Structure 1
Amino acid sequence: MGATLSNKLGNIFIDHEVLASIAGVAAMECYGLVGMAKKSKASGIVELLKRENQNKGVKVSSENDEIIIDLFVVVGFGTRISTVAQNIIDKVKYNIETITGLKVKQVNINIQGVRVEK
Structure 2
Amino acid sequence: MATPEIEISKHVLMDIAVTTLDGIDGTEVASAPLKMNEVLRNQTPGRRPRALRVTREGQDVTVDVGLNIEFGRNLVALSEQVQQAVRENIELMTGLKVRAVNVSVHNVCLPKGSPA
With the length of structure 1 as denominator, give the TM-score of the two structures.
0.76
1:36 to 29, 37, 43: 29
The DSSP-based 3-state class of the residue aligned with 1:56 is coil
1:70 paired residue number:
64
The alignment of Structure 1 onto Structure 2 pairs a total of residues equal to 101
Distance of 2:100 and 2:49 partners within structure 1: 17
Distance of 2:26 and 2:53 partners within structure 1: 21
Answer yes or no: is 1:18 the counterpart of 2:20.
Answer: no
Distance of 1:114 and 1:39 partners within structure 2: 16
2:40 paired residue number:
none
- Residues 53-75 of structure 1 show CA distances to partners (whole Å, capped at 9, x for unaligned) of 69833200012420000111100
In structure 1, list runs of 5 or more residues that go unmatched. Answer: 1-7, 43-52
Distance of 1:64 and 1:28 partners within structure 2: 27
Instruction: Output the aligned Cα RMSD.
Output: 2.1
Identity %: 26
In structure 2, list runs of 5 or more residues that go unmatched. Answer: 37-46
Asked whether the 8 Å contact 1:71–1:110 carries over to 2, the reply is yes
The more displaced of 72-81 and 59-68 is 59-68
Q: How many angstroms does 1:41 deviate by? A: 2.8
2:55 paired residue number:
61
TM-aligned CA distance change 1:67 to 1:115, over 3 Å: same
With the length of structure 2 as denominator, give the TM-score of the two structures.
0.77
Asked whether the 8 Å contact 1:74–1:113 carries over to 2, the reply is yes
2:74 paired residue number:
80
One-letter amino acid of the structure 1 residue matched with residue 75 of structure 2: I
